[in-house]
Amino acid sequence: MSPMPQRSAKITVPSNLYTAILAVAFGAVVATAAYVAFRCYTQYGTIFGMP
């Protein structure tokens, strides 16, 4: 999958666009999880158990 130069293939510039997109998606998921954990802790005093 690495952009190894081949003889018969044309030369393409490596792009980190999709990495950035994945990072955005990861960041959104992390932020959502952190927000949900914060709300659970502030409202019920625990994150995973029953109050």
Q: Give residue for tokens 């914060």.
A: 38
Smallest gap from Cβ 36 to another protein, in A, equals 5
C-alpha–C-alpha distance, residues 8 and 50, integer Å: 62
Q: How many CB atoms sit inside 10 A of residue 25's CB?
A: 10
Cβ distance to another protein smaller for residue 32 or 48:
32
Residue 32 in the binding site for another protein (CB under 8 A)? yes
Cβ distance to another protein smaller for residue 8 or 12:
12
Q: Which amino acid is at 44?
A: Y
Among 10, 43, 47, 48, binds another protein (CB under 8 A): 43
